[in-house]
Amino acid sequence: MRDDEEFDISDLSSTFDFKGFLFKVLSYWKLFLISIAIGLGISYYINVRKLDVYSSSNLVSIKDNQNPFFTSNTSLTFNWGGTTDKVNTVLIALRTRKHNTEVVEKLQYYINYEKDGEYQRIDTYGKTPFKVKIDTTAFQMLHTDMQIKVKNDSIFNLSTNFPESKKLLLHHYGSLKDSTLTVSKSSFERDFKFGVPIRLPFFEGVVHKDELNTQTTTPYFIRFSKAESVVSKYTNIRVVPESTGSSVLKLTLTGHNKKRLSDYLNATVNILSVNLLEQKNQFATNTIAFIEERLKEQGEQLETVEGELNAFRTKNAIVNIDTENDELSVKTSTLDNRLTDLNRQIDYLNTLDTYLQTRTDYSSVPAPSVAGIAEGSIVALVSNILNLAEQRSRYQYAYKENNPIFDDIDRQINAAKNVLFENIKSSRSLLESEKSRVEAELSRYESQIRRLPREQQDLLKIQRRFDINEQSYNMFLSKLNEARLVKAANVSDVLLVDKAKPVSASRVGPNTRLNYVMGFLFGLIVPIMLVFIKVFFDNSIHTTEELQKLSPIPILGVIGKSKLESNLVVLDTPRSAISEGFRALRSSLQFIYRKQGIDGSKTVLLTSSISGEGKTYCSMNIASVFALSERKTVLVGLDLRKPKIFEDFDIKNNKGVVNYLINDATIGEIVQSTKIEHLDIITSGPIPPNPSELLMKDSMDRFISELKESYDYIILDSPPIGLVADSLTLERYADASIYIVRQGVTKKGMLNTINEKYRTGEITNMSFVLNCFEQKAKYGYGYGYGYGYGGYGQGYHEQDVKASWYKRLFKKNKS
């Protein structure tokens, strides 16, 4: 190889072998089957233990139901923005925590009814033979089960086991306060009567018998939770229009109990309907309260004036006013009533002006028509401000205060107020002008009255006061009847079109098919990930292609994995594919010798990176195939630190190379014959303290020279080059060198040293042999034993007999 040739290992090792990875994945098919079976088993375990999930729904119609008895000019109700705004109102209100808290508290959904199922507790709401009604003004025990057993139609047994700490957490559903209670006993059990109030330190309420459910053998459990935690489960109620732009809404809830779902859906609509009707009647309610207060004052004044009038007539013996004076009285009374109306309207406008400037809550403003104001602009603007204020109040339960929607509403309110202030100013100016005119005309009639006799003047004054109070009283009484009629005639804008029913609830879960698919995918992905991690972090060599990418050193051959306990594969199974692999190595070595022009005795040195890669195993079998070709062969054990070869040939290691190198024995004394004709063995001998120095002595040159005189092939079994430098010392004696790489054992980084020495020319005639190769998908695509031989047909080789599983296990443990 040229000295200037570069070799970039990083580029070669960075290529991911997808085809090899695929074969490796397929090789773990048993792991896949086990993993998929486990995944499907987990899915089955989950499916059988999961409770059924149901979906229940109802339909709600949102209409703009205006009162049919009044026109827009006289009605005390207003159009709150039309149907679209009402739909948005309902959408927001149904999801607010305030509204859902009201529903939960009304239904007392913080009481859990359960019984033991096959795998877990089951919600039995609506299916128990009793109903619990707790006292919300008392403390109740939280998060601890109380068992109820029905004994007969009138008696039930109540029992519970207290926590080990004997400290109970109590909750007051009225004040939402928590408390604790320490009990002296570990349990409680007592019989009670249905319908009789129960007063216990940890529970106060009444258990009513349910006549529809008469089962009396199953024990049931009740448990109290905090209302706040229960409400959070229902704020995610799904509310959507039945169709685009429709005023019909569909409410949907999912859960494990059909009855609980349907009751909640219907209750949330009913409570919302009542609340919205109350809000719709709020204007009339405020007006009724205002009128009733004024009626009380006006009635007292009317009663006082009427008493004065009767007393004056009795004292002065005057029953009626004469015709001329009666006409004058009628005119002044008319003007007085008109002046009273003007003052009332001006007072209302002044009060409204002050109210709008000093208040931020506009919910208590009475109707303008109460004061006799019928100007459409003022009525509409007051209506708009009240509508926006109510809308802002509703949004406070759905959005945070810093939400931009509040800024937009405030801008609309301020704009309406500014326009209303201008209308108030102009209307007040007109009313003041008319008031001045009425006062002037009234002053002219009063001058005529002053010319009448004293008794007549006094009677007219009292009569005028009576007429004014009577007309005001009748006007307020008329408005009161109108307001009450409006309130009575109002209907809610929310109408429950289709009630939710338990029988109509549909099962939507659990999705058992999806769980099985997920279990299958889990069983599929986990082995793939494990194999990927193993491949990703596996730094060992598996195939000849990897070896070619990692090093420029040529590959001489591939030796298969032997399943025999003996290392002498060539002798024990001469027709096996492994034996043919060693014969292929013999042919390749002979080609190298011929290419180099070497005649006579030939040497081959075997080394490896570390111990355990099969260097000695290959040395023995290469020596065997040379000896079987009737060439005089000697196998020399030069691994002076860890001698091995004597065990398989059943010879002793008393004397060997070490003895010769220290001049303690001759060649003849250390050579040992084997049962194989033409094959001799020279063991390493006793382990010396200085093996490297011994191999560097001149006696080593003499030792090799003497061997060449007697043998055709000399096989040098040297130490691993990755551990000691002895093989580099022996390299000069080798006509060909073999570097053993074991599949799945030799690490890629171990080749760095040999690659560098090969590149610099320190090592020549070096070749790789991939040992212990298994033709299985887990190591890539597969290669034949013996480089270039490929697979062999039936009848050419002996089949390797696979040992029984317990023998393989014993061998594995032994190794």
Which of these ranges, 83-97, 122-136, 200-214, has the smallest mean pLDDT? 83-97
Please state the domain extents for the chain.
9-50+510-537, 282-489, 552-806
Closest CA relative to residue 141, chosen from 181, 190, 191: 181
Does the structure show a pLDDT above 80 at 391?
no
Residue with token string 């009740």: 222
Q: How far apart are CA 672 and CA 679, in angstroms?
A: 9
Higher pLDDT, 213 or 776: 213
- pLDDT per residue as tens digits for the range 736-772: 999 999 998 888 888 988 888 888 888 888 999 999 9
Residue 77 pLDDT greater than 50, yes or no: no
Fold of the domain built from segment(s) 552-806: Rossmann fold (3.40.50)
Average pLDDT, the chain: 81
Q: Quote the tokens at residue 166.
A: 């004997």
For residues 428 and 368, what is the distance between their CA atoms, to the nearest angstrom?
A: 13
Written as six digits, the tokens of 388 are: 């926006």
Which of 203, 119, 196 has the alpha carbon at shortest distance from 159? 203
pLDDT of residue 451: 59
* The predicted structure's pLDDT at residue 396: 65
pLDDT tens column, 449-487: 665 666 666 666 677 677 777 777 787 787 778 777 777
Segment 692-736, tens digit of pLDDT: 888 888 888 999 999 999 999 999 998 888 667 777 788 888 999
Tokens of 400: 């945070």
* Other CB atoms within 10 A of residue 711 CB: 23
Tell me how far apart the alpha carbons of residues 770 and 608 are, in angstroms, rounded to a whole number.
Answer: 11
pLDDT per residue as tens digits for the range 346-368: 888 888 888 788 776 666 666 67
pLDDT of residue 811 exceeding 60, the answer is no
Residue 138 pLDDT > 90: yes
Angle at 329 between CA 323 and CA 330, to 5 degrees: 95
- How far is 220 from 202, CA to CA, in rounded Å? 18
Q: Of 239-253, 324-338, 423-437, 663-677, give the lowest mean pLDDT range.
A: 324-338
pLDDT surpassing 50 at residue 796: no
- Share of residues in the chain with pLDDT > 70 (%): 82
Give the integer Cα–Cα distance in Å for 126 and 255: 14
For the entire predicted model, the pTM comes to 0.56
* C-alpha to C-alpha distances, 374 to 278, 358, 453, 455, nearest whole angstrom: 25, 24, 41, 40
Kindly report, residue by residue over 392-406, the tens digit of the pLDDT. Answer: 776 665 566 677 777
Query: From CA 146, how far away is CA 128, in angstroms rounded?
Result: 14
pLDDT in the model for residue 285:
76
Which of 16, 17, 2, 106 is closest to 780 using CA atoms? 17
Cβ pair 606, 733 in contact under 8 A? no
**pLDDT of 592 above 50:** yes
pLDDT value of residue 774? 82
CA 445 – CA 325 distance, rounded (Å)? 11
pLDDT of 652? 87
